Amino acid sequence: MSHDAVKQPLLLDGAYRPEAPLNPVSLAVREEAGGIAMAVMALAGGPAVGVGRMVRLWNGADEDLGVFRVTRAMTETGRGGRLRLELEHSLACLCDCVLPYAVSVGTTVSAAVRTLLSSGGAPMTLASAGTDAAISRTGFVAVTVWEAVSTVLASLPEGWRLEVGGDGPPWGLRIAAAESAPCVLSAGRSLISLNCEADLTDYCSRMYPVGKDGLTVRGVNGGDPWVRLTDSPAYGVASRMFSRPDVDSAAQLKNLALQELARLSEPVLSVRAEARELSAETGEDADRFTPGRLCVIPTDRLPGPWTGEVRCRVATRSWPDLVRDPRRVVLTLGSRRPRLSAAVPAQKDWSRWRMYG
């Protein structure tokens, strides 16, 4: 692996100090919007690396991705006996920590995250919170710490990202706020190919909220049991129920329903883009496609009557092979905020990596 292309992975010792550089023949990395990342690496020699070993990785944007744990090691006899390693980011330890008993948390994001980390026995502490907000759900039971933390962080504005710092456990966890300026997929510069899909399957223009013990919003909504954003929805009238049995305030129930309605009131735009991550070369922030960040999409490539500037949020950034092409990335983007906690089981599903290596 060339030092000019991307920094070499480092094998770490038991104290998380550099032990030896690694020279992979292939290295794929997938970064998620919430901060979790996974990697697949193939080695054809060098130090012996087994399960449980720690490795520090960098991506093609010269960003330090932090420490990864080897969770699976396989010898591929059909490929000259090379070693295939599957690694997960240290943040994934939150998927391994559970809350077996009911845990009550504070009323703000930062207070809740601190309580969840300590209650679940996670090897992390909240070092800093770049953004904070009040939360609606204040109790959790029988879930992983990652799922609970993701639910709490959903109270923040879109684009937040968890970052892990430090040289070993306990790790320092930071809640990073979204960048104010978007990145840009530009034809003739960074964009290689773009596939888009517009979908009205989950569309909703009118929502009927129901809370605890049959609570409705009539008392705070002019007598109407439903909420809507406009009298003349662009895509017709479609109604849905909105159930929140944990909410006993009509005003809060209405606010939550309006937030969900805003999420469902437009077609879902799903985008898969192949691009060049040029930020390490240009130094331009607009060329950095960090997961969780808003991205400007060329409107002439979109299916439908979109005009003006269309922005989607980067859900994942994958580096198919940092050895052969360290600037090539595959991005998935969406116009709708992803439900990160609902995707937790997929975090451990390695089958989606079979296309690499």
pLDDT in tens, 44-84: 988 889 999 999 999 998 899 999 999 999 988 776 779 99
| Run of H or E including 252 | helix 250-264
Nearest Cα neighbor of 158 from 127, 190, 180 is 180
The parent domain of residue 286 ranges over: 183-200+267-344
| One domain for residues 195 and 339 | yes
Q: Is residue 350 part of a domain?
A: no
| Run of H or E including 150 | helix 145-153
| One domain for residues 336 and 187 | yes
Q: What is the CATH number of the domain that holds 14?
A: 2.40.30
**Which two three-digit tokens encode residue 339?**
């439900």
Nearest Cα neighbor of 63 from 219, 302, 293 is 293
| One domain for residues 196 and 326 | yes
Q: Is residue 290 part of a domain?
A: yes
| One domain for residues 196 and 290 | yes
pLDDT grade for 34, boundaries at 50, 70 and 90: confident
| One domain for residues 52 and 29 | yes
| One domain for residues 23 and 75 | yes
pLDDT tens-digit readout, 199-248? 888 889 999 999 999 999 999 999 999 999 988 887 888 999 999 988 89
CB-based burial of residue 234 (10 Å sphere; 0-12 exposed, 13-18 middle, 19+ buried)? Answer: exposed
Which of 274-311 are b and which e, b meaning 16 or more Cβ less than 10 Å from the residue's Cβ? ebbbbbbeeeeebbbbbbbbbbbbbeebbeeebeeebe
Q: Is the pLDDT of residue 25 over 50?
A: yes
271: amino acid identity, one letter:
V
Distance, CA of 264 to CA of 257 (rounded, Å): 11
| One domain for residues 226 and 328 | no
